[in-house]
Amino acid sequence: MRMAQTDDSPAPDATTLKLYELASADETVRFSPHCWKTRMALAHKGLNAERIPWRFTDKDVIAFSGQGLVPVLVDGEAVVNDSWRIAEHLEERYPHPSLFGGDTGRAVARFVNSWADGTLVPAIIKVIAVDIHNRIAAKDQGYFRQSRERRFGMSLEAFTADTATAREGLRHALAPLRFTLRQQAFVCGATPAYADYCVFGMMMWARCISPVELLEQDDPVFAWRERLLDAHDGLARHAPRAQ
Amino acid sequence: MRMAQTDDSPAPDATTLKLYELASADETVRFSPHCWKTRMALAHKGLNAERIPWRFTDKDVIAFSGQGLVPVLVDGEAVVNDSWRIAEHLEERYPHPSLFGGDTGRAVARFVNSWADGTLVPAIIKVIAVDIHNRIAAKDQGYFRQSRERRFGMSLEAFTADTATAREGLRHALAPLRFTLRQQAFVCGATPAYADYCVFGMMMWARCISPVELLEQDDPVFAWRERLLDAHDGLARHAPRAQ
């Protein structure tokens, strides 16, 4: 049974919440864009979780979730996978502060999430695919190379050969975000919420696994990313990055 | 001074609200995507307005608004231009039913609006630019051709030469919307609101001025457009289309 968080039901601590996160060869480096959405959502709610490193090939470790991708959140009896469903779970069980600002805000945030996944993932992977390969655990490298080369129809090296054009493509893809951020500090208005985290997760993906700087300093998206790096006590800014 | 609508201040009728809308040669055809955003927003609020046809070159007619673009809404003493600012004005003065569902919903709707303007306008204009030219008032045609050919860097005819590729580009651009609409009936959830109208305005632009069908029937975007054509007593479905 699910109960809303109230003054009588304090937030669970890390002994209750467990989050499985994709890790690089260095297990302190957690670089999945979708895990970062969840990480920021937990911080937004003031929740701590035991953060368990997981590798692409550790399918058996999360088999209890009924599928093979992270993030997976274990919250007491509840096992939830998929970052969007985790966000909805957190909003239902721990309503304040809200991730969505109501039903309309939640519905429209789903559009932003779809945009980030469908537009920014393909733009950023063209910059960082080889960096990911070179920094993940040795046991993951074959899986990563084979599955991505099948998807891209070419070698990782060929796919990422023209970084300058790929970065230009990303900056073009960011136009709707840039225009929005000329009008307001965050996608969600004066303070960040889940629609911001959906996009910011993409930035943390690159930041944690690649030395490439995606943005120009005079880009409003750069300034927005700075604000989110500082949010929630600098959680994202202090996150380990792969060497 | 602005006053929120209450039970003591009934909605104004068409003698109070005036909306200047872009018209084609046939003045009953109102095809501006941004005017359609406003039209749907007014219908959402249950408001009627006197709808005044306006042509691209009628700059003097709306000079009182301090600029030269429609939509322009006159609401008693208030004169508001720019569809986004009009939506905010309507939400403030006539709060129910809400266009945004709160501050977060409003902020995130701005992202959707930016996406529609920045992504869909360029994709659709590549299909319909010549259709627009051929259906607007004769006095507007020179202005339209010159301003757009300067922007596109080529003739309208060259710009729209490859309609099949342009339609394919549009369908690709609609991917985040399509993915969202596989999860929910409207961008704003179970019922439409302003973020839907921001995107739907783009569809009405093409529908009113061009015979080209932009979407495939099996596209979730097609079904969503059908639902919005039927919304508010079929306002959009019954709107005159250029012959």
Would the pLDDT of B159 be above 60?
yes
Which residues 110-129 on chain B approach chain A with CB closer than 8 angstroms?
Answer: 110-112, 114-115, 117-119
A42 vs A59: CA distance, rounded Å: 24
Instruction: Give residue A161's pLDDT.
Output: 96
Does a cis peptide bond (omega within 30 degrees of 0) precede residue B240?
no
User: B19-93: what fold?
Assistant: Glutaredoxin (3.40.30)
Instruction: Give residue B67's pLDDT.
Output: 97
Instruction: Give residue B6's pLDDT.
Output: 45
pTM score: 0.94
Q: What are the angstrom distances between the C-alpha of A73 and each of A37, A82, B173?
A: 12, 9, 33
For A154, the token pair is: 């070419």
Mean pLDDT of B166-190: 97
Prediction ipTM score: 0.93
Q: What is the pLDDT of residues B78-126, one digit of tens each?
A: 999 999 999 999 999 999 999 999 999 999 999 999 999 999 999 999 9
B103 touching chain A per CB within 8 A? yes
Q: Which of B74, B103, B105 is nearest to B89 (CA)?
A: B74
Mean pLDDT of A23-28: 98
**In this complex, do B119 and A175 lie within 8 Å of one another by their Cβ atoms?**
yes
Residues across chain A: 243
Least Cα separation, residue B26 to chain A (angstroms): 34
Alpha-carbon torsion B172, A85, A81, A138, what sign?
positive
Mean pLDDT of B217-225: 98
**In this complex, do B186 and A107 lie within 8 Å of one another by their Cβ atoms?**
yes
Mean pLDDT of B215-238: 98
Mean pLDDT of A108-123: 98
B189 touching chain A per CB within 8 A? yes
Instruction: Give residue A16's pLDDT.
Output: 87
Q: With pLDDT > 90 as the criterion, what percentage of chain A qualifies?
A: 93
Other residues' Cβ atoms within 10 Å of the Cβ of residue B64: 9
Helix (H) or strand (E) holding A18: strand A17-22
Instruction: Give residue B50's pLDDT.
Output: 97
Instruction: Give residue B15's pLDDT.
Output: 59
Least Cα separation, residue B220 to chain A (angstroms): 14
B130 vs B201: CA distance, rounded Å: 19
B22 vs B68: CA distance, rounded Å: 12
Single-letter amino acid code for the residue at B88: E
Q: What is the pLDDT of residues A208-231, one digit of tens each?
A: 999 999 999 999 999 999 999 999
Q: What is the pLDDT of residues A37-59, one digit of tens each?
A: 999 999 999 999 999 999 999 99
Is the pLDDT higher at B26 or at B15? Answer: B26
Instruction: Give residue A6's pLDDT.
Output: 45
Q: How confident is the model at residue A4 (pLDDT cuts 50, 70, 90)?
A: very low
Would the pLDDT of A121 be above 60?
yes
Q: With pLDDT > 90 as the criterion, what percentage of chain B qualifies?
A: 93
Q: In what order do the strands lie in the sheet with B17-22?
A: B50-54, B17-22, B72-75, B78-81
Q: What are the angstrom distances between the C-alpha of B133 and each of B56, B137, B160, B213?
A: 11, 9, 12, 18
CB nearest to B184's CB, from A107, A112, A183: A107
Q: Which of B40, B46, B39 is nearest to B10 (CA)?
A: B46
For A178, the token pair is: 């840039």
Contacts of B103 in chain A (CB under 8 A): 101, 189-190
For B185, the token pair is: 């009936």
Contacts of B189 in chain A (CB under 8 A): 103-104, 106-107
CB nearest to A180's CB, from B114, B177, B186: B114
Least Cα separation, residue B122 to chain A (angstroms): 13
Size of interface A-B (CB pairs under 8 A): 106
Q: What is the mean pLDDT of chain B?
A: 94
B198 touching chain A per CB within 8 A? no
CB nearest to B105's CB, from A104, A115, A183: A104
Q: What are the angstrom distances between the C-alpha of A12 and each of A67, A75, A234?
A: 25, 9, 22
Contacts of B119 in chain A (CB under 8 A): 175-176
Instruction: Give residue B11's pLDDT.
Output: 58
Contacts of B175 in chain A (CB under 8 A): 114, 118-119
Would the pLDDT of A234 be above 90?
yes
Would the pLDDT of B2 be above 50?
no
Q: Percent helix, strand, coil in chain B (nearest 5)?
A: 55, 10, 35
Return the bridge partners of B189, or none: B186
Give the domain ranges of chain A: 17-93, 103-233
User: Helices (H), strands (E): how many in chain A?
Assistant: 10, 4
Q: Do domains A17-93 and A103-233 have the same CATH topology?
A: no
SS3 A85: helix
DSSP letter for B120, please. Answer: I
B73 touching chain A per CB within 8 A? no
Instruction: Give residue A13's pLDDT.
Output: 54
Q: What is the CATH number of domain B103-233?
A: 1.20.1050.10
Instruction: Give residue B16's pLDDT.
Output: 87
Would the pLDDT of A111 be above 90?
yes
Contacts of B109 in chain A (CB under 8 A): 108
Do the Cβ atoms of A41 and A99 come closer than 8 Å? yes
**CATH (one of 3.30.70.580, 3.40.30.10, 3.30.70.60, 3.30.70.2740) for A17-93:** 3.40.30.10
